[in-house]
């Protein structure tokens, strides 16, 4: 993290509590400034920008670390199928934004003797050529210690993080620590997020902005929620950073539809369910290729 | 724990404004917009829930400053919920254990526990926000019953999430909620107890927050919940302080004791005494003692002490009382413990059952198993931590009707297990035992033998 003289001056001031909101605003602006300075450098950000420059859309696929004995083969299959980014879930006992499919995958992973750290350490064995993002909950990071976790991720070759329950107000420490280790922390914008708030989140987010496609937990849906395109449009109205839509996108046609506006899509439960149902690496590779071809046909 | 916290502070020092480490206006005051109690609390929720939390905070700030809201709330608490609840002097128990025991009788409030104070306020708040539906988590069922009651009374829809294990332990309360018109969802994820019911309620809230208010049952969860629930339970402590001063000629009790799961009855009680010289004690279940055995972490939207393993997986709390089976504790309690304004102890299942029987036999008051934890600690520590002759106020958070069949089963099985039974029912722990004649255990013993 770049030493910032004005920020240390700010933190030295003992703020009266009634000024807390002012401090909040100040810090958001400050995070935003530093964010935009640093965000250009990351592997995820530059890859997604170059895809957009070629008028293409990005595909990010999610897999829970340790959810099956062949999960590492499946991770490679996701790359071979044509994903631009892979998102690896670190298992947590209480995944509150996840629906039944990913909850179950998390439980299977833990019950098989995996831990968040063992999943991270396995990532270096995957030898992926596409950027790896880890997705988890803040207690996993807090318990390990922010500095230790960031170092461990970086050592395993992780490029980014998504912390589901870490909103922008609480994210400062992790954004800084992860940034120092070269990890781009990706923030979420929801359909209900106000425009002012969306600006602050987009400025703080590194790599890309995760547009939550629907008000709900992770899981497949028959219809693409109307909010999926709306949230992407909202994000794109305030930032140049890539806007990828996840949660609520489950099929090639839904992915194509949302990519009319978004810079890309994130699919999780549609893949995790197939793995839980016993689909092997070849089957997952075929599914990812379907997604790839669908969004490339745009 | 200190390492993790200081590391976070160090790493984030130049980045981490708002100053989340500063709490609000004094001890048990306004936690500020960041919702911090010392270093605890905060608001760790996925972005889809942030707007709902921010709106709720804004609405509560406005309602709590509005005399009309207070009038409406006070009026319902009086004519519907039966407030104020009395303080009862326990002459026989006091004589037995050698300290003067007063009980704040939340068991006499409508629905049988202090939970009605919180849900009445939150239901009014929900109506003020134009929400037509309440959802809630429940452990023992007390909060679920109270929420279902408020929903019925105010003509709102209600869904209660309850761990499947708890629906079996407390099946009468499930039926009670259904009678009140609520839909009860048995939660089958995770450990199928209170913490999983909270997860499921949060998940439901994400997709329904437009018309639904999540009526959180304790001083836990993301800001502003710990603050809202403490303020709505403050009535317990405020009443008790005035009542104690009448009984004690203007004096405050030497000790103020309440059971703690998430800690709402304790927070409400302590709020009335935090600026007196009374010693404040929260009593957790031995199998869910987040202060004694927990480590700071983030769960259900808050930073607090949690039972967790080395990798940050949340552990299951286990105790005789479903209502205390929570692996965390409200963040303000973690703060009160860290600054030393309150102390947190625990009671094990065996002494809790003894206290349950003892209060029933000596005072004619059957306490909830949750509340019996507070009684058990006082009985155990009379003449030890609590000097003989002290005055003790215990908040009796609820009545024990819901627990009677469970305790009957426990006493029967301990009876058939043989020698253990006398320990279970003997009027006291080691300290109480030396002063007790033993006659107080007779009733329970007879019942067991007759059964």
Residue appearing with tokens 């700010």: A10
> pLDDT digit string (tens) for A230-264?
999 999 999 999 999 999 999 999 999 999 999 99
- A96 closest CB neighbour out of B4, B199, B310: B199
Query: What is the per-residue pLDDT for B252?
Result: 98
Percentage of chain A with pLDDT > 90? 86
Q: For residue B350, what is the domain's CATH number?
A: 3.40.50.1100
Report the run of H or E that residue B337 belongs to, with start and end.
helix B331-339
Distances (CA, A) of A107 to A116, A275, B190: 12, 14, 8
* Cβ contacts of B311 on chain A, cutoff 8 Å: 115-117, 140, 143-144
Strand order in the sheet with B40-41: B36-37, B40-41, B302-306, B295-299
Query: What is the per-residue pLDDT for B143?
Result: 96
User: B137 near B200, Cβ under 8 Å?
Assistant: yes
Using DSSP, state whether B148 is helix, strand or coil.
helix
**Contact between chains at A172 and B15 (C-beta distance less than 8 A):** yes
Residues B83, B235: Cα–Cα separation, whole Å: 9
Average pLDDT over residues B168-193: 93
> pLDDT digit string (tens) for B301-344?
999 999 999 999 999 888 888 888 899 999 999 999 999 999 99
Assign A22 a pLDDT band (cuts: 50, 70, 90): very low
Q: What is the mean pLDDT of chain B?
A: 89
Average pLDDT over residues B41-66: 98
| Residue B209 annotated to the active site | no
* Cβ contacts of A167 on chain B, cutoff 8 Å: 43-47, 50
**Contact between chains at B15 and A216 (C-beta distance less than 8 A):** no
> pLDDT digit string (tens) for A271-284?
999 999 999 999 99
Q: Which residues of A are catalytic?
A: 87, 98
Query: What is the per-residue pLDDT for A58?
Result: 98
DSSP string, chain A: ----HHHHHHHHS---GGGHHHHHHHHHHHHHHHHHHHGGG-HHHHHHHHHHHTT--EEEEEEETTSSTTHHHHHHHHHHTT-SEEEEEPP-S--TTB-HHHHHHHHHHHHTT--HHHHHHHHHHH--SS-EEEEE-HHHHHHH-HHHHHHHHHHTT--EEEETT--GGG-HHHHHHHHHTTPEEEEEE-TT--HHHHHHHHHH--S-EEEE-SSS-B---SS--HHHHHHHHHHHHH--S-EEEESS--SHHHHHHHTTTSSEEEE-HHHHHHHHTT--HHHHHHHHHHHHHHHHT-
Structural domain including A247 reads 56-296
Phi, psi of B223 (to 5 degrees): -55, 135
**Contact between chains at B45 and A165 (C-beta distance less than 8 A):** yes
Strand order in the sheet with B212-214: B183-187, B157-163, B133-138, B212-214
Query: What is the per-residue pLDDT for A106?
Result: 97
Q: Which residues contact B199 (CB under 8 A, 6 or more apart)?
A: A94, A95, A96, B187, B189, B190, B300
Tell me whether residue A157 is exposed, middle or buried, using C-beta atoms within 10 angstroms of its C-beta: 0 to 12, 13 to 18, 19 or more.
middle
Question: Taking 60 as the threshold, does the pLDDT of residue A21 lie above it?
Answer: no
For residue B113, what is the DSSP state? B
* Cβ contacts of A34 on chain B, cutoff 8 Å: 15
Question: Taking 90 as the threshold, does the pLDDT of residue B279 lie above it?
Answer: yes
User: B102 near B253, Cβ under 8 Å?
Assistant: yes
Assign B414 a pLDDT band (cuts: 50, 70, 90): confident
Query: What is the per-residue pLDDT for B450?
Result: 34
Q: Which two tokens stand for residue B175?
A: 């039926």
* Cβ contacts of B19 on chain A, cutoff 8 Å: 11, 15, 20, 23
Q: For residue A190, what is the domain's CATH number?
A: 3.20.20.70
Among candidate residues B424, B423, B422, the one with its CA nearest the CA of residue B407: B424
Assign B69 a pLDDT band (cuts: 50, 70, 90): very high
Q: Which two tokens stand for residue A43?
A: 């592997």
> pLDDT digit string (tens) for B192-242?
989 999 999 999 999 999 999 999 999 999 999 999 999 999 999 999 999
Residues B246, B241: Cα–Cα separation, whole Å: 9
In a domain, A165, yes or no: yes
**Contact between chains at A93 and B199 (C-beta distance less than 8 A):** no
In a domain, A34, yes or no: no
Question: Taking 60 as the threshold, does the pLDDT of residue B24 lie above it?
Answer: no
For residue B45, what is the DSSP state? -
**Angle CA(B325)–CA(B373)–CA(B339) in degrees, nearest 5?**
80
Question: Taking 50 as the threshold, does the pLDDT of residue A287 lie above it?
Answer: yes
> Which residue of B203, B227, B304 to mutate against A (max A Cβ within 10 Å)?
B203
In a domain, B215, yes or no: no
pLDDT-wise least confident of A85-94, B192-201, B288-297, B426-435: B426-435
Strand order in the sheet with B255-259: B87-89, B100-105, B391-396, B255-259, B279-285, B342-347
Average pLDDT over residues A216-230: 95
Assign B418 a pLDDT band (cuts: 50, 70, 90): low
Structural domain including B320 reads 87-112+234-450
Nearest-neighbour CA in chain A from B295: distance (Å): 9
Q: Where are the alpha helices (DSSP H) in B27-80?
A: 47-64, 67-79
> pLDDT digit string (tens) for B126-157?
999 999 999 999 988 999 999 999 999 999 99
**Contact between chains at B199 and A94 (C-beta distance less than 8 A):** yes
Residue of A nearest to B29 (CA): A17
User: A178 near A39, Cβ under 8 Å?
Assistant: no
In a domain, A28, yes or no: no
User: A53 near A45, Cβ under 8 Å?
Assistant: no
Number of domains comprising chain A: 1
Max Cα–Cα distance, chain A, nearest Å = 60
Residue A204 Rama label (left phi>0; alpha psi -120 to 50; beta): alpha
Number of domains comprising chain B: 1
Question: Taking 90 as the threshold, does the pLDDT of residue B408 lie above it?
Answer: yes
**Contact between chains at A116 and B312 (C-beta distance less than 8 A):** yes
Query: What is the per-residue pLDDT for B320?
Result: 87
Single out the catalytic residue among B53, B70, B110, B114: B114
In a domain, B242, yes or no: yes
Query: In whole angstroms, what separates CA B393 from the centre of its chain?
Result: 16
In a domain, B366, yes or no: yes
Percentage of chain B with pLDDT > 70? 87
* Cβ contacts of A4 on chain B, cutoff 8 Å: 14
The ipTM value here is 0.88
């Amino acid at each position: 993290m770049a030493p910032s003289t004005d920020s240390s001056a700010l933190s030295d001031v003992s703020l009266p509590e009634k000024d807390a909101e002012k401090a909040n605003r100040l810090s958001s602006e400050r995070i935003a400034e530093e964010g935009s300075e640093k965000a250009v450098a990351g592997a995820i950000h530059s890859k997604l920008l170059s895809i957009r420059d070629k008028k293409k859309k990005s595909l990010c696929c999610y897999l829970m670390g340790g959810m099956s004995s062949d999960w590492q083969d499946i991770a490679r299959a996701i790359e071979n199928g044509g994903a631009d980014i892979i998102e690896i879930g670190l298992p947590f006992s209480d995944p509150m934004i996840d629906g039944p499919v990913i909850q179950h995958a998390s439980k299977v992973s833990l019950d098989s003797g995996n831990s968040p750290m063992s999943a991270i350490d396995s990532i270096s064995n995957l030898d992926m050529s596409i950027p790896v993002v880890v997705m988890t909950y803040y207690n996993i990071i807090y318990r390990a210690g922010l500095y230790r976790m960031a170092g461990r991720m970086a050592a395993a070759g992780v490029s980014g993080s998504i912390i589901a329950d870490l909103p922008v107000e609480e994210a400062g420490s992790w954004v800084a620590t992860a940034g120092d280790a070269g990890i781009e922390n990706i923030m979420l914008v929801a359909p209900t997020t106000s425009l002012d708030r969306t600006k602050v989140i987009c400025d703080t987010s590194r790599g890309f902005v995760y547009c939550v496609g629907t008000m709900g937990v992770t899981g497949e849906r028959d219809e693409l929620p109307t909010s999926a395109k709306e949230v992407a449009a909202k994000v794109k109205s305030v930032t140049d950073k890539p806007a990828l839509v996840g949660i609520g996108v489950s099929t090639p046609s839904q992915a194509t539809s949302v990519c009319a506006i978004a810079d890309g899509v994130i699919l999780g439960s549609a893949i995790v369910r197939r793995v839980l149902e016993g689909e092997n690496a070849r089957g997952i590779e075929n599914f990812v290729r379907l997604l790839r071809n669908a969004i490339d046909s745009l | 724990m200190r390492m993790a916290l200081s590391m976070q502070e160090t790493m984030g020092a130049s980045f981490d404004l708002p100053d989340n480490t500063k709490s609000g206006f004094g001890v048990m005051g306004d936690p500020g917009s960041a919702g911090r109690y010392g270093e605890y609390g905060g608001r760790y929720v996925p972005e889809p829930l942030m707007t709902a939390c921010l709106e709720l905070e804004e609405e509560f700030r406005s309602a709590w400053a509005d005399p009309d809201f207070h009038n409406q709330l006070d009026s319902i608490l009086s004519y519907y919920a039966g407030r104020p609840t009395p303080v009862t002097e326990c002459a026989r128990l006091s004589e037995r254990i050698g300290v003067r025991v007063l009980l704040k009788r939340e068991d006499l409030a409508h629905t049988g526990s202090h939970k009605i104070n919180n849900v009445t306020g939150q239901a009014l708040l929900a109506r003020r926000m134009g929400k037509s539906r309440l959802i809630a988590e429940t452990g023992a069922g007390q909060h679920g019953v109270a929420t279902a009651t408020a929903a019925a009374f105010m003509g709102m829809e209600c869904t209660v999430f309850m761990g499947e294990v708890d629906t079996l332990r407390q099946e009468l309360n499930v039926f009670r909620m259904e009678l009140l018109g609520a839909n009860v969802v048995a939660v089958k994820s995770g450990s199928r107890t209170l913490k999983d019911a909270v997860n499921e309620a949060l998940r439901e809230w994400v997709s329904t927050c437009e018309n639904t208010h999540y009526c959180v049952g304790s001083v836990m969860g993301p800001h502003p919940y710990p603050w809202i629930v403490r303020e709505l339970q403050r009535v317990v402590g405020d009443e008790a302080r005035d009542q104690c001063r009448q009984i004690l000629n203007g004096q405050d009790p030497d000790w103020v004791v309440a059971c703690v799961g998430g800690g709402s009855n304790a927070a409400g009680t302590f709020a009335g005494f935090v600026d007196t010289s009374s010693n404040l004690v929260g009593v957790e279940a031995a199998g869910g003692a987040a202060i004694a055995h927990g480590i700071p972490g983030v769960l259900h939207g808050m930073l607090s002490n949690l039972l967790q393993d080395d990798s940050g997986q949340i552990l299951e709390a286990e105790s005789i009382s479903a209502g205390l089976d929570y692996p965390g504790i409200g963040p303000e309690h973690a703060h009160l413990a860290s600054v030393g304004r309150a102390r947190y102890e625990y009671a094990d299942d065996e002494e809790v059952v003894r206290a349950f029987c003892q209060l029933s036999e000596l005072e004619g008051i059957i306490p909830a198993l949750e509340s019996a934890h507070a009684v058990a600690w006082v009985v155990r520590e009379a003449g030890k931590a609590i000097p003989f002759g002290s005055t003790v106020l215990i908040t009796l958070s609820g009545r024990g009707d819901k627990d009677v069949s469970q305790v009957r089963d426990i006493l029967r099985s301990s009876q058939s297990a043989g020698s253990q039974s006398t320990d279970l029912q003997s009027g006291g722990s080691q300290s109480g035992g030396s002063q007790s004649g033993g006659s107080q255990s007779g009733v329970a013993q007879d019942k067991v033998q007759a059964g």
